[in-house]
Every structure is written in C-alpha cells, then in structure tokens.
Amino acid sequence: MNNLALLLLRVVFSASLITHVPKKITKLVDGRWNIDFPLSFDQSFHQNLVDLFSTSFLPILLLAIFSELIAPILIILGFRTKFFSFFPAATMFIVVFIVHINDGWGKIETPLLYLFGFVTIFFCGPGKYSIDKKF
C-alpha cells in the first residue's frame, strides 16, 4: 500500500507542476527573458543579478523549465527519483523564499505545497512502482 501511495504522490505532484510550464515556454519562444522581481531589492542587488546573467535571465528560465517539465516527467516514471526531485524542490524554495516572500500567503501557498511534496518524494524515494526498482 505504501508503494501505491508513493506512486500517487509522484504522479499527482509532478503532473500538476507540469501544468505551469506553458507560460514559461511562451516567454522562452517570445524572447521575453527578463524577470521582474516583486521583492524590494535595492537597485545594486538587482543590477548585480542582471550583470551576472548578461542582462538576460535565460539561464534561470531554462532551469525553471527543466525543473517543472523534464524533472517531473522523469519523477513520474520513477527514474532517478531522488536526484530529479531536488530540482523542483529547489525551484519551489526559490519561488517561496525569494520571489514571493513579500506577496502574502495567497502567492506562497501553492509553491509551498509543491516544495513539501517534492521534499517528501526526495526523502521517501520512488517506491516499488518505478523504473529505478525494475532495473
């Protein structure tokens, strides 16, 4: 029964996270690679980030797409589940504690649920019904 619960946990969290990817892919295709920080960073911090990523947040956008599309597909399949669950968990950590920290509970609630879901998957592993356990 625990293995079935782990399968459901992997499939539900991963499949629902994948639904957030189309907006990011649209931004990627349209060339809108800039990110507006809702935090009240001082200008020098924001400028350092822009300088670091060469006036474009393309690397961050690509990593977010990987974390919310490729990694969840591999988690659903149960392939290297513990390794790949780190990426969506790290992305949701950044969303909760950096991007939306000042936006109130309404913006933090869903990413926080994803964070704890993928951390749980990380600690519990894929279960019996996974590619990792078959080979």
Measured distance CA(96)–CA(119) in Å, rounded: 14
Tell me which residue of 96, 132, 135 sits closest to 7, measured CA to CA: 132
* Cβ count near 126 (within 10 Å): 25
Q: What is the pLDDT of residues 56-89, one digit of tens each?
A: 577 888 888 999 999 999 999 999 999 999 999 9
* pLDDT < 70 stretches in the chain: 33-56, 135
Q: Structure pTM? A: 0.82
